[in-house]
Amino acid sequence: MSASSPTHKIAIYPGTFDPITHGHIDVIERASKLFDEVIVTVAQNISKTPIFSANERISIVQEVTKEFKNVKVEKFDGLLVDFAVKNKANAIIRGLRAVSDFEFEFQMALFNRKLKPEIITVFLMPHEKYTYLNSSVVREIAKFGGQIDHFVPPFVEQKLKEKLSKK
């Protein structure tokens, strides 16, 4: 099936991924089973100040998702819906972990729908064992030398240690 075919379903999964966690990977795996192609889109210019550069986050995400053959990773800047249209994506994937995610996600989905009604936001629930996870807590635990192997793959743990030892 060619990538421009209407039956070839492409989804984008946007985020900061600073760093990518098991929770994100769980969502990526679920999305890869639902769509023909998933583009993990790593946000570059965001209000957050990431510990890893955009290029570092991309290569880390590439490494830990390489087992999923229909997943690719790209950097994005600007409006998410513009990136989706440019890449012929039909859907935006977002993970919903808890009720607290809902308000922000609902607002973002409605804004994106207003901007580009043809792009559908799809919410996926990661495994419940990851519902409390987020990247800032992982960074904080790593900063204070705590164990993060339950939250991120060994490759991410290693990169985080290297990064923090330089700071």
DSSP 8-state secondary structure symbol assigned to residue 142: H
> Which residue lies nearest ligand COA, judged by its C-beta?
23
Backbone phi, psi, residue 118, to 5°:
-75, -15
Q: How many C-beta atoms surround the C-beta of residue 119 within 10 A?
A: 19
- Which of 30, 135, 139, 159 is catalytic? The answer is 135
Choices 2-10, 32-40, 64-72, 133-141 (CB under 6 A): range interacting with ligand COA: 133-141
Q: Select which of 24, 30, 94, 139 is catalytic.
A: 24
Which residue from 134, 157, 163, 164 is in contact with ligand COA, where contact means CB under 6 A? 134
Antiparallel, parallel or unpaired: β 71-76 and 37-43: parallel
Residue choice 66, 111, 150, 158 for contact with ligand COA (CB under 6 A): 111
Q: How far, in whole angstroms, is CA 140 from its chain's centroid? A: 19
By annotation, the residues acting in catalysis are 24, 48, 97, 135
